Chains A and B, each alone.
Chain A
Amino acid sequence: MNGSASLTLQDLTKHFGAHAAVCDVALEVEPGELIVLLGPSGCSKTTTLRLIAGFVAPTGGDIRLDGRSIVAQPPHRREMGIVFQSYALFPHLTVARNVAFGLEMRRMTAAATEARVAEMLRMVKLETLAARLPRELSGGQQQRVALARALAIHPRLLLLDEPLSNLDAALRQDMAREIRILQRAGGITTIMVTHDQTEAMALADRLVVMHEGRVQQIGTPEAIHARPANPFVARFIGGSNILAGRLGGSRRLVLADGAVLTLAGRYADSNEATLAVRPDSVHLLAPDGNARAEGEVELCTWLGSVVEHVVRLGPDTTILTRGPALGRDAVRRHPPGTHVALAWEQDEERLFDADGNALAASVTMEETSHA
């Protein structure tokens, strides 16, 4: 087994003509770790994966597997198992022959190949379909064949390119769990690419959030969710409300349209600042003058388990709040037009300067001493 290699991306860069598709991507992947490259479509996460696979040659930087550079190696020598978005099964070969392909390339004996194919098909629960052709299988089954084919060769690295995006919602969660279990069981270092943050959260040991070819933040799903590094990550991961304005005094944020918010923390004066706060951190209160902000409910949406309110703070500014619809903490539903106050805790708010760097609440000490 060589299923637990470490991977290092060092300042990996890829230009297509004048366009920099991947910029200085640096990443250390531990053996056995599952890393998810997450970002909106067109953020070059797939290009990054193709660089690792060797289908695209980098313009600069290095890729090291277990400390050894593989940049000069062609794809067929890299020993990576890849599952493509479209599964990319060989249409003219049966399921068993698809899974056997990589083993035949390694000149494994017929008996050993057969045994390994049987083992892999058992693992993905497709023993009974071994003689079928890919076109006779459902999407989920094709997906499993692709996974079995990739894992059969004991890859040093497993690369998954949007592996779940062609499956319907119900199947997607099953498959995500299955991938996680197989990956854990084999201890295979895995890089997966997706644009779906739920999928990413569910699978990743660590997330790499990418945008426009650059790494925005690397961390565990929990850490990124709690402490997004910049407004982009805040919006992309938590669906945060992003409110840009100017700091007026250490706790006042004056938005461009004149709306004024009272921040939970105190911040060193910085001219321009952007507030990010997740919808589920914003609570609705009756107006009492002590709120972070006040506004008028514009829309109240009931989504079964949660209730969402869109609250207008100023001519150009609305804020989204979300809370449970059921249970002890159920949120009261406010009809449009209701005047409400909004509040959130200090550790739920993130403030960024004009360059997108997080600002630390400087006077936390004072507040904790009050408590």
Chain B
Amino acid sequence: MTSGLAQTAPPSPEHAPGSGVAWLERAGVGLLLWIGIALIGVPLLLTLYLSVFDEKLILFPPHGYTLTWYAAILPNFAQPILTSLELGAAAVIGSLLLGIPAGIGLSRHRFRGRGAVSTLLLAPLTVPGIALGLAIYVMLVSIDEQFGSMITGSMIGLVLAHVMIATPWVVRLCLASLTNHERSAEEAAASLGAGPLTVIWRVTLPAMRPGIIAGALFAFVISFENLELALFLTSPGVTTLPVAVLQYLEYHIDPLVSAVAVAQTVGIAALLLVLDRFVRLGQVVR
């Protein structure tokens, strides 16, 4: 992740350094780079700026600045935050349980229907979240009608939906971490007396570690930030943070939402930075 910038402008051997064309090229690349940084950075900075306004409504310029909005996050959103954290954790566990074996199977074995399984596992990436949310909602309602169950609006429905959208990421990252890994290490382990399950446990899974960690992280972030699916699947008792923020916005326009956004961004960025120290995410996510 951190190494991304260094690769943007490879030196072009065709042009002598300092020549007009090379200068233009470098200036062009630099310009695009700064436009990119601005597009990402300006909204973040504005959000950060708004979150410290000492105002009930968003007025410009503000009377003064305060950190009270940050203190108000927990009293207002404690339950949704807890729900989102639980949901994120469940999505991570569920998607790893599905995604790791799928990754191993897809990369290590050639079987009939392999292409179909691969497409199916990655398909949720291609369907718009709103469409997916609606479809799942309709399905859950009809299941409930059929069997008299109460899945709609329950945690179970949310978890299943989040596992579904998180799994493709886990599968992709696990596959990526195995493509660089040599098959022969597993054969070596087998020749040394390791049975098939021992080989997976002692050789394959350790080799997949960066992919698994990155996959877990992505699964968590995808789940934690998801609004589209949650819109359909939450209910008064079970509300995730993004849905709670949206509902809050319907009645209040004050800087609290900005404070939530900043806190969430900082939290996830910190998570990424810490993880990047353990596994070089840049090597797994390409």
Contact = CB atoms under 8 A, between A and B. Distances in A.
Interface string A121-160: 0000000000000000000000000100110010000010
A71 interface: no
A74 B198 CA distance: 14
Contacts, number: 70
Contacts of B187: 53, 55, 75, 82, 84, 88
Contacts of A105: 192-194, 198
Contacts of B198: 105
Given A84-B184, A86-B182, A88-B182, A101 B189 contact: yes
B185 interface: yes
Interface stretch (B35-43, B162-170, B201-209, B264-272): B201-209
A89 interface: yes
B188 interface: yes
A153 B192 CA distance: 7
A91 B193 CA distance: 18
B3 interface: no
Contacts of A79: 193
A74 B202 CA distance: 18
B11 interface: no
Contacts of B196: 76
Interface string A94-120: 000000011001100000000000000
B191 interface: yes
| Interface size range on A against B | 20 to 34
Contact of A90 (B185, B190, B195, B209): B185
B192 A149 contact: yes
A78 interface: yes
A231 interface: no
B107 to A, nearest CB: 16
A80 interface: yes
A86 B202 CA distance: 19
A54 B193 CA distance: 12
A82 B188 contact: yes
A91 B192 contact: no
A75 B187 CA distance: 8
A150 B191 CA distance: 9
A81 interface: yes
Contacts of A150: 191-192
Contacts of A19: none
B206 A92 contact: yes
A287 B262 CA distance: 96
A146 B185 CA distance: 11
Interface in B225-273: none
Contacts of B189: 90, 101
Nearest to B184: A88
B193 A106 contact: yes
Interface string B60-73: 00000000000000
Given A84-B184, A105-B198, A90 B191 contact: no
6 tightest Cβ-Cβ pairs between the two chains A and B: A102-B192, A105-B193, A88-B184, A88-B188, A75-B190, A92-B206
9 contacts: A54-B190, A76-B196, A77-B193, A82-B187, A90-B188, A102-B192, A105-B193, A149-B188, A159-B191
Interface of B: 182, 184-185, 187-196, 198-199, 202-203, 206-207, 209
Given A90-B202, A102-B192, A150-B191, 8 more contacts: A55-B187, A76-B194, A82-B187, A84-B188, A88-B187, A101-B189, A101-B194, A146-B188
